[in-house]
Structure 1
Amino acid sequence: MSLLAKLILRVLAVVALCLACAGAWTMVEANNAIKREVVATADRMERESRNLAWREVMFPGNEGSHAKLAFPEWRSSDTLRIVGPGYCVRLEWTGDVPASICGGGPESGTAPAWFVKLNDLLFGAFEPVERRVMVGRHEVGSIAAQADAGAAAQQAWRQVSVVVGVASAMAAAIGLLTVALIGHALRPIEIIIRGLKLLERGDLSVRLPDFAAREFAHVARAFNELTERLALSTEQRAAVTRRLFEVQEDERRSLARDLHDEFGQCLTATRALAAAVASASLKDRPDLSESAREIGVISEGMAATLKSTLSRLRPPELEDIGLEQSLEHLVGSWNARIGPGSGPRFQLKVHGGLQDAPAEIALTIYRLAQEGLTNAVKHGAPQAIAITVERRNAPEPQITVTVEDDGGGASVEPVGNQGQGLLGLRERVEALGGQFLAEARGRGVRLAAALPLKSVGAARATSEAA
């Protein structure tokens, strides 16, 4: 669940709690008001009844302590006026039958049944309030005032519904405003997340704006400082890597030169000497002649191995005939080595001109093609291996190279001493500001790299500065 959703749920929970508290407080106040009105009704009726009693005392023929008061009908408009709707009064004169009156009956409408039950459960029934009617020192009657249960529940419901309705409208407005404010306040989080995703994909040029909120501004400054340090350390590491590969290529050239000049000449002399011994001893020592011929065969095999090793150490075609022709020669040598009909077929597709490819990129492309072919044959059983090199000018000038086979090789770089070829290719490509990918594709493996041409000058300048 998102942070915005959690905050909204918490706001709704607080609003619901406030509404519940408002409803409970209103119910308590409504019941207290009813109780106060019952007491006030009893007091008003006691005063009115006492006044009626005094007027009856003044009538002729009602003297004496045992005289019966002949009161007129007491349910007059004046009496009804002091009994509120929903309240009932029982008046009992001494020696007379008790009489009751309710003030106008319950108000229109009824409270929901669940509210009536809840109100009775929380507050119970209303106790009657009793008063004695005194004339002088004599008690002439008694009064009991009580609230009607249905009318009391209706009055409480009316007050609760009004208060809760107004509070709900205010809470809804405040909630919507709060949600809008929270959404606006958390908008920088989306920008920060987009920046983190770009950084995860390797875009070290991403920067966050200076947010108005102080907390997000601190995060933005820390993020920008981190990306700057990462960009600087990445450039320094790339410069060191490029320098290491330059040293490695120099060592390869030096080793190839020494092998060609020293070991190659020794093999040539060995083959010549073996041929001479075989020819001279053919009549007198046929066994020696056979051994000399075997030495010659072994020397020829070693010479072929040396030639293959020299081609891997230092591809001379790059300097002599260029990248495209060197790749054609590489593919042709593999086809010739495997032989027709006895193994996989190697294909090369070139789109766009590669004549002006910088030396670093040309060498990296050649090494990637060379390692891709070796990896496909060594770790799988492909029937077809294709190398595709394409120059693109949009959205930015770059050269892409892909080596793909159908034989189920290994695209994951093994741990330990194996898999150094793919690891070295990745380091070569990333050192030039490019991207490298090794993945399974169908039954085979696909190696792909994209090398931007514009980064070569900057990479060379950084390397020289380092």
Structure 2
Amino acid sequence: MSLAEAVPAAAGGRQEAAATPRFRQTLRRQILLAVMAIDACCCLASAVVVIFNAREATRVEVGASLEMAEPLVRETIASFQRSAPEDISGLQFDLPGVRHVRISVHRPDGSLVSSREPMRPSAFSPAPAWFARLIESPLERQEIPVVADGELRGMVAIQGEPADEIAEVWEDMTSLAALLAAFNVLGLAAFALLLRRILSPLGALGRGLAALERGGSDQPLPVPHVQELAVLAERFNALAVALGEERDRNARLSHRMVFLQDDERRQIAAELHDELGPCLFGLQANLGLLKSGLSESGGLAAPAQERLATAIDISNRLQTLNRHLLRRLKPIALGEAPLGEVLSGLVAEFERRHPDHQFALLTAELRTGYGPVMDLTVYRAVQEGITNALKHAVCTTIEVRVEEQVVNGRAELAIQVIDDGVGVPAETTSGFGLLGLAERIQALRGRFRLRSVPAGAALEIFIPLSDAEEKRR
């Protein structure tokens, strides 16, 4: 498993969370949209009721005007008939105060003689045609014959004309709609501000949960005055305290396990060095003396010489393997020389074994050491990162950076292994090397991340120095 193919287990949960689709609308926006929808429905229902009432009122108003105009028209016709005129063109109607009525005079053949238009208030503009169709009802029309000397001289038509009444209704509705719109805008703005204030604890709760996901929340949430939100804040604070205690307990246990593993490695390395090392040295020395003695006494047969040479070769290989195991279990210089020099020696060893690759080590103001556990973790991180890059990244250049930095007021040690390979594939799994390294980083409350960069892949590890120093003490 390589830098380009491994995904750290410590970052797996966070990557799954990032892949989860997020809702695009906030709770505040959804509530506002719901209130606006309800408000729109209420306004629509109010408009329907107003139109229905206006339609009925217009019908009643026009009907009343017709009832008022009819006797006056009949009286005018009767007076005109008594004068027995030859032509009805002189028939005129003066009906002061009568609105919503159109009076027209026609000859017997239906031709129009004259027409009295309804009174129209000059203050109102005509209503739109679509609104007039909603308000107006079927027009009422009455026809009164004009007879003089027993001869039909013409017809007088009385017809309802609701246009002026509809114009008044339209004017009233537009004024009312503008007023309601202004009140609705102001009301919704005030409601939005109030809702934002009421729901602000939910934002704090979300930020607190994000802090818990990242590894901890030092500040408890303030308890709001809203009862339901106060319960959530109190439960969250209790959960944060419980998780913090459990996290500290797990960190202490993980650190203890790492310490025991390192201690066991040191014991095994000591036994290999103190017990197996002298035995292998003695075996090599005796085999060498045996070979020299046999050569002086006349030598051995060819098969015996081959077996002796094989035994000497095996002893040499065992000695080399023992040295390699000692370096793997406990780097000899680690803890004895400054950490920067130990890392430089590690990179130099990789350069010697892989001359076709270019290596670069950048260490900025590192301390002499950070304690046995921390120093070994840094050493293993660099070793594992370079090893994985060489195996699977298909790269030619590997750059290692180890430096102290300050993030959000907290000092931490940053370790980066960057290669110029193929990057991190979309679907990857973690190998044992990176899983073990991730466990060590987690025990030190560090962060472990593997990501693609424009030029390849980068393994990034960040370990808080305060926690490491506390564990060192």
TM-score grouping bracket, smaller chain normalisation: 0.7 to 0.9
Q: CA deviation at 1:382?
A: 4.2
For the residue of structure 1 that corresponds to 2:314, the secondary structure is helix
What TM-score, normalized by structure 2, do the two folds share? 0.75
Q: How does 1:1-80 map to 2 (within 5 A)?
A: 1-3=24-26, 4-44=28-68, 80=95
1:107 aligns with 2:121: yes
Query: Are the counterparts in 2 of residues 281 and 289 from structure 1 also a CA contact under 8 Å?
Result: no
The CA distance in 1 between the partners of 2:338 and 2:169, in whole Å, is 96
TM alignment of 1:314-333, pairs within 5 A: 314-333=330-349
Distance across 1 between alignment mates of 2:333 and 2:247? 32
Question: Paired residue for 1:351, among 350, 360, 364?
Answer: 364
CA distance in 2: counterparts of 1:152 and 1:222, whole angstroms: 64
Q: Residue in 2 aligned with 1:230?
A: 243
- Answer with 1 or 2: which has the greater Rg: 1
- In the aligned structure 1, how far is the partner of 2:168 from the partner of 2:435? 83
In the alignment, which of 202, 220, 241 is matched to residue 254 of structure 2? 241
Q: Does 1:431 align with 2:443?
A: yes
Runs of 5+ unmatched residues, structure 2: 1-23, 106-112, 145-154
Structure with more contact order per residue of length (Cα contacts < 8 Å, sep ≥ 6):
2
Moved more, 386-395 or 365-374: 386-395
Specify whether residues 413 and 387 from structure 1 end up closer, same or farther in structure 2 by C-alpha distance, changes over 3 A only. Answer: farther
CA contact (8 A) 1:436 1:449 kept: yes
Q: Deviations over 1:224-262 (max 9, x none)?
A: 233222222222111111111111112111211222233
The reply on whether 1:388 has 2:412 as its aligned counterpart is no
* Alpha-carbon distance in structure 2 between the residues aligned to 1:49 and 1:459: 111
CA contact (8 A) 1:411 1:445 kept: no
Matched residues in 1 for 2:361 and 2:159: separation?
A: 105
**Contact 1:349–1:389 (8 Å) recurs in 2:** yes
The alpha carbon displacement at 1:427 in A equals: 1.7
Distance in 1, Cα, partners of 2:224 & 2:252: 34
Residue type matched to 1:456 in 2? A
Structure 1 position 211 matched with structure 2 position 224: yes
For residues 440 and 364 of structure 1, the distance between their equivalents in structure 2, rounded to whole angstroms, comes to 23
Q: Distance in 2 between matches of 1:42 and 1:405?
A: 96
CA distance in 2, matches of 1:320, 1:114: 95
Q: Distance in 1 between matches of 2:425 and 2:312?
A: 41
The answer as to whether partners of 2:378 and 2:415 remain within 8 angstroms in 1 is yes
Q: 1:378 to 1:209 in 2, by over 3 A?
A: same
Does the CA contact (< 8 Å) of 1:206 and 1:227 recur in 2? no
Alignment CA distance shift 1:411-1:146 (3 Å): closer
Question: Partners in 2 of 1:405 and 1:53 — Cα distance?
Answer: 110
Pairing 1:300–2:316 present: yes
The reply on whether 1:251 has 2:264 as its aligned counterpart is: yes
1:293 is matched by which residue type in structure 2? A
Contact 1:349 1:388 in 2 (8 A): yes
In 2: Cα distance, 1:172 partner to 1:35 partner: 34
Which segment drifts farther, 404-413 or 241-250? 404-413
Partner of residue 98, structure 2: 83
SS of the residue 1:240 aligns to: helix
Residues 410 and 117 of structure 1, relative CA distance in 2, 3 Å threshold: closer
Alignment of 1:436-451 (within 5 A): 436-442=448-454, 444-451=456-463
**Separation (CA, whole Å) in 2 of partners of 1:201 and 1:70:** 106
Change (3 A) 1:29 1:230: same
User: Which residue number in structure 2 is paired with residue 64 of structure 1?
Assistant: none
Partners of 2:74 and 2:455 lie apart in 1 by 110
Matched AA of 2:464: P
C-alpha offsets along residues 71-94 of structure 1, whole Å, 9 cap, x if unaligned? 9999786xx24523x224699xxx
Give aligned-pair identity as a percent: 28
SS in 2 for 1:270: helix
Deviations 1:274-332 (A, max 9, x none): 22332233333142233212211221112111101111112232232242332233233
Q: CA deviation at 1:184?
A: 3.4
Size of the aligned set, in residue pairs, is: 424
For residue 281 of structure 2, give the secondary structure of its aligned residue in structure 1: helix
- Paired with 1:71 and 1:47, the residues of 2 have a C-alpha distance of 20
* 1:405 and 2:430 correspond: no
Residue 334 of structure 2 aligns to a residue whose secondary structure is helix
In structure 2, distance between residues paired with 1:199 and 1:353 = 31
Instruction: Please tell me whether the aligned partners of residues 398 and 451 of structure 1 are also in contact (alpha carbons under 8 angstroms).
Output: yes
Gapped runs of 5+ residues in structure 1? Answer: 57-67, 92-98, 132-141, 462-466
